Amino acid sequence: MAVSAPAPAGARRPRLQTLLGEQPIGYLFVAPFVIFLIAIYAYPFFYSIYMSFYDYFFAAPGAVVDRPFVGLANYTRAVQDPLFHIALRNVVIFLLINVPVTVVVAMVLATALNAAIPLRSFFRAAYYVPYVTASVAAVSIWLWLFGGPGLVNKVSGPLAPNPTWLVNAFWVMPIIALYVTWKGLGLYILLYLAALQNIAKELYEAASVDGAGRIRSFLVVTVPGLRPATLLVVITSVITGANLFTEPYLLTGGGGPDNQSVSPVFLLYRQGIEQNHPGYAAAMGLLLVLGVLIVSAINRFVLERE
Amino acid sequence: MATVTATEPTVAARPEPAQTPEQGEHGWLRWVRLIPLFIGALVFILPFYYMVVSALQKDPNPNISGAFPNPNKLSLDNLVNINNAISLPRTLLNSGLFTGGVLLATLVFGVLAGYALAQLHFRGRQVVFYTMILLLVMPFQLLIIPLYVLIARNFGLADTLLGMILPFAINPTAVFIFRQFFLQLPKDMFEAARIDGASELTILTRVVLPLTRPAILTALLITFIGPWNEFLWPFLITKKLSLQPLAVALANFISTSAQRGPNPYGAILAGATVLAVPVIILFLIFQRRFVESSIGSAVKG
């Protein structure tokens, strides 16, 4: 601690300070966090690169086993795996439903909330409740609503699909996408609400001088002003779609029907842990990280072009 | 996912002056605005009401009338059933220990790191900060396989509390929030304290923390939600029933519920209610704090 004591003008130890900075005790303060980041993020990341080149499998602790180097075999296997294709297709389906619904509903509700209206904090809290709820609990409600004997089938009567929603190959991904959209929407409403505060009032005044009505000024001022928030929706949607686990595991009973609702992370779990091919799962995981990085880069590019 | 999005409540914490282009509009328009807001609120909240009333019916009724049960016929049978299956006190205790461990580590090590990143000058500080930002974008789930191999297999921490806590121990989002709030404190205050001979630890605990209590609470609430709601990691690491948090035990109950008779939903929903209610209550209490502080700062100008 003595190191951090302030040095009154002209003290004798400026050399250490020019080398390490004014408060070297900062190293001590930040050390646990840095160790944590290395142990939980950096090291596992590099370890998974290592695993992905081997036919890695679990063995009893301490047992010496031969885990042969297989080069790119895990990667070529992933690229050719029809289940991995379904998982990626499901991310696309998820994206196509999640993004438009989130953007439209969150924009409308945030704009409506962005005024001196009664019950403002009630609405804000209400929209946020699904977001803070455990996914296992929220999935339970949707299981009950959309299950065979559930309320949705009772209400929709003859319009209900056969087989029922969660075991219907066509409906299963749209239902998952709607569920996740419902659960996460509160966050985006608040994000849009915050973004609305950053749109300069002058823009609206200019628009109204130019004769723009309420709807026109929404389209020419509000929508472009919210663009950064909208791009954030796109990128988180890709990440969320790739990371779905509770939904295919619980809501559709293990990626069913007939693997039509598998997600990439669900496949990682099944291959890497259930079926003891962590090397293969690591390769799939790294392909996904690459995909996420590419999407982020595109996102960045579009954002900075503005 | 959570790491990417959880920064939001700071946004909510900021005062939001209701300044809009539509200010001073006609009375009827105000009411038109309320229609989508009310529909939205129903869509978001009704499922939770439905969860609670269904859980309170001995044999949940899936018809529309099931949403409006006779209050005299409500029972706690489902709570008893789910408790017999997965022992609520034990699973709640496990959830609490898991969450408590994460909160403690985040509070101690996260505050230290946030303070160092905001107010201490040392070589390499920017590197640590930008590495943290980079990692915030990386979805945790994609590291699940190597983490599982390392923690469960190589370190032998499967079925231990430590193994469950480790990957979540210091929430990077919380560190980010701590840093942002510590940055806003006036520089002169730190200089004055240092000239008075206070050590950095003293400055942190005696000066900084009392001034940033709301930020600490915000960050801790976000951190609380993470492990309490987390399913995938504790599901992988705990095979022993006696160590499973409520979310994991309930999920296992659901995935084997097909063999539990024709209508297992009552017990499932009772468990879901127990899992959801603590967080919702905490959030609602906290939400009021947010609103009060927003109004307070708006009044002060």
In chain B, where the domains are located:
2-16+28-300
Q: Which residue has the tokens 């980079």?
A: B134
Angle at B41 between CA B36 and CA B44, to 5 degrees: 125
Domain B2-16+28-300, CATH class in plain words: mainly alpha
Which of A136, A190, A288 comes nearest B250 by C-beta? Answer: A136
- Reported as a single tens digit per residue, the pLDDT across A3-55 is 444 444 445 556 777 788 888 899 999 999 999 999 999 999 999 999 999 99
Which of B8, B109, B149 comes nearest A278 by C-beta? Answer: B149
Which of B1, B156, B247 comes nearest A136 by C-beta? Answer: B247
Q: What is the pLDDT of residue B288?
A: 62
Where along chain A do its domains lie? 82-305
Tokens of B113: 């790191």
A239·B1 Cβ contact <8 A: yes
Do B253 and B178 meet the contact criterion of CB atoms below 8 Å apart? no
Region for residue A263 given its phi and psi (left: phi exceeds 0; alpha: psi -120 to 50; beta: otherwise) = beta
Instruction: Give long-range contacts, CB 8 A cutoff, 24+ apart: A148-152.
Output: A149/B62, A149/B263, A150/B62, A151/B50, A151/B62, A151/B63, A151/B64, A151/B66, A151/B67
Question: How many whole angstroms separate alpha carbon B78 and alpha carbon B97?
Answer: 25
Grouping H, G, I as helix, E, B as strand and the rest as coil, residue B56 is coil
Angle at B265 between CA B261 and CA B270, to 5 degrees: 125
Q: Looking at CA atoms only, how far is residue B72 from chain A in angstroms?
A: 22
From the number of C-beta atoms within 10 Å of its C-beta (0-12, 13-18, 19+), residue B263 rates as middle
Tokens of A272: 């890497």
| CB < 8 Å to A154, chain B | 62-64
Ramachandran angles phi, psi of A69, nearest 5°: -70, 130
Residue A285 has pLDDT above 90, yes or no: yes
Question: How many whole angstroms separate alpha carbon B63 and alpha carbon A227?
Answer: 43
A156-177: average pLDDT: 90
A144·B269 Cβ contact <8 A: yes
Q: Which of B142, B224, B273, B288 to probe the A interface (max A CBs under 10 A)? A: B142
Which of A33, A122, A130 comes nearest B113 by C-beta? Answer: A33
A44·B195 Cβ contact <8 A: no
Nearest residue to A233 via CA among B4, B102, B115: B4
Question: How many whole angstroms separate alpha carbon A177 and alpha carbon A238?
Answer: 12
Question: How many whole angstroms separate alpha carbon A134 and alpha carbon A43?
Answer: 29
Q: What is the pLDDT of residue A3?
A: 46
Residue A88 has pLDDT above 70, yes or no: yes
| CB < 8 Å to A29, chain B | 112-113, 115-116, 120, 200
A129·B280 Cβ contact <8 A: yes
| CB < 8 Å to A148, chain B | none
Tokens of A255: 């990626």
Q: Looking at CA atoms only, how far is residue A231 from chain B in angstroms?
A: 13
Fold of A82-305: MetI-like fold (1.10.3720)
Q: How does DSSP assign B213-271, residue by residue?
A: HHHHHHHHHHHHHHHHH--HHHHHH--SGGG--HHHHHHHHHHTGGGS-S-THHHHHHH
Q: CB contact, 8 Å: B300 with chain A?
A: no
A122·B5 Cβ contact <8 A: no
Ramachandran angles phi, psi of B121, nearest 5°: -100, 115
Question: How many whole angstroms separate alpha carbon B129 and alpha carbon B118?
Answer: 10
Question: How many whole angstroms separate alpha carbon A56 and alpha carbon B155?
Answer: 17
Q: Which residue has the tokens 């779990």?
A: A269
Q: Looking at CA atoms only, how far is residue B1 from chain A in angstroms?
A: 6
A56-84: average pLDDT: 87
Mean pLDDT over all residues of chain A? 87
Angle at A278 between CA A272 and CA A280, to 5 degrees: 95
Q: What is the pLDDT of residue A31?
A: 96
Do B287 and B273 meet the contact criterion of CB atoms below 8 Å apart? no
| CB < 8 Å to A44, chain B | 143, 146-147, 150
Residues 120-139 of B with CB under 8 A from A: 120-125, 128, 131-132, 135, 137-139
Q: Looking at CA atoms only, how far is residue A306 from chain B in angstroms?
A: 22
Question: How many whole angstroms separate alpha carbon B58 and alpha carbon B66?
Answer: 11
Question: How many whole angstroms separate alpha carbon B34 and alpha carbon A109?
Answer: 10
Do B51 and A144 meet the contact criterion of CB atoms below 8 Å apart? yes
**Run of H or E residues at A226:** none
ipTM above 0.90, yes or no: no
Q: Which residues of chain B have pLDDT under 50?
A: 1-24, 291-301
CB pairs under 8 A between A and B: 336
A243·B142 Cβ contact <8 A: yes
| CB < 8 Å to B244, chain A | none
- The count of other CB atoms within 10 Å of the CB of residue A16 is 11
Percent of chain A whose pLDDT exceeds 70: 93
pTM here is 0.87
Residues 18-77 of B with CB under 8 A from A: 18-23, 25, 30, 33-34, 36-37, 40-41, 43-45, 47-48, 50-51, 54, 60, 62-64, 66-67
A106-131: average pLDDT: 87
Q: What burial letters (b/e) apply to B239-258, b meaning 16+ CB within 10 Å?
A: eeeebbbbbbbbbbbbeebe
- Reported as a single tens digit per residue, the pLDDT across A123-135 is 888 988 998 899 9
